[in-house]
């Protein structure tokens, strides 16, 4: 098991610990999620995209929007630019449009945790070659209600890109860690 995989598993375990059977009985619905029905939101985030194969990282940027179907489920659409990474003078860059489902759980009246699962339509360029396709991605994170309509988000997302350039195959995993703001209508 390499160190990157170990870090990912440790982060998943740490963020999912509050959802253990003992903690699940203490989960409360926060004021911003209760009784609102379908609540739309938009957000923006800045982060760091860690390219596994390129062994480099780059600043990332994303915009997203969604709708909370109830206090537990939301649907989210977004766009993310992973920036570019360089390995041995070979430049790689990637971006994706995504659609996902989020499962939320309130940890307190201001703090909630979420897990995310979706499909990402990605574009991946290496040197002068490019490829695009659709792959599954996952994420998890925390939302903190700053005020009635504003929240801060910490998100960790894992994107797997299986690109083909003629007879050359390249499997790039991008771990994106970001901080963002969400505005709820």
Read off the pLDDT of each residue in 138-152 and give the average, rounded to a whole number. Answer: 96
The topology (CATH level 3) of 27-184 is Porin (2.40.160)
Give, rounded to a whole angstrom, the gap between the first and last alpha carbons of the chain: 44
> How high is the mean pLDDT of the chain?
84
Q: How confident is residue 18, by pLDDT bands cut at 50, 70 and 90?
A: low
| pLDDT at residue 140, as a whole number | 97
CA–CA gap between residue 164 and residue 131 (Å, rounded): 7
DSSP letters for the chain: --HHHHHHHHHHHHHHGGGSHHHHTT----TTTTT--SEEEEEEEEEEEEETTTTEEEEEEEEEEEEE-SSSEEEEEEEEEEEEEEETTEEEEEEEEEEEEEEEEESSSSEEEEEEEEEEEEEEEETTEEEEEEEEEEEEEEEEE-SSSEEEEEEEEEEEEEEEETTEEEEEEEEEEEEEEEEE-
Query: What is the pTM assigned to this prediction?
Result: 0.78
State how far Cα 37 lies from the chain centre: 24
- Residue 152 has a CB neighbour count (10 Å cut-off) of 15
The domain segmentation of the chain, as residue ranges, is 27-184
Q: Which of 2-11, 19-28, 54-63 has the highest mean pLDDT?
A: 54-63
116 has a pLDDT exceeding 70: yes
């Amino acid at each position: 098991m390499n160190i990157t995989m170990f870090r990912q598993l440790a982060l998943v375990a740490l963020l999912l610990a509050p959802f253990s059977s003992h903690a699940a009985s203490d989960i409360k619905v926060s004021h911003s999620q209760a009784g609102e029905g379908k609540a739309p939101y938009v957000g923006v985030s800045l982060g760091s995209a860690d390219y596994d194969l390129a062994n480099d990282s780059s600043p990332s940027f994303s915009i997203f929007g969604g709708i909370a179907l109830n206090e537990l489920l939301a649907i989210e659409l977004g766009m993310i630019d992973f920036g570019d990474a360089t390995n041995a003078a070979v430049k790689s860059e990637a971006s994706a449009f995504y659609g996902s489902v989020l499962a939320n759980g309130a940890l307190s009246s201001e703090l909630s945790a979420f897990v995310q699962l979706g499909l990402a339509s990605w574009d991946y360029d290496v040197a002068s070659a490019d490829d695009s396709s659709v792959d599954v991605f996952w994420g998890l994170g925390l939302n903190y209600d700053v005020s009635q309509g504003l929240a801060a988000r910490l998100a960790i997302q894992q994107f797997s890109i299986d690109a083909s350039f003629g007879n050359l195959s390249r499997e790039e995993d991008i771990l994106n860690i970001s901080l963002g703001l969400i505005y709820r209508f």
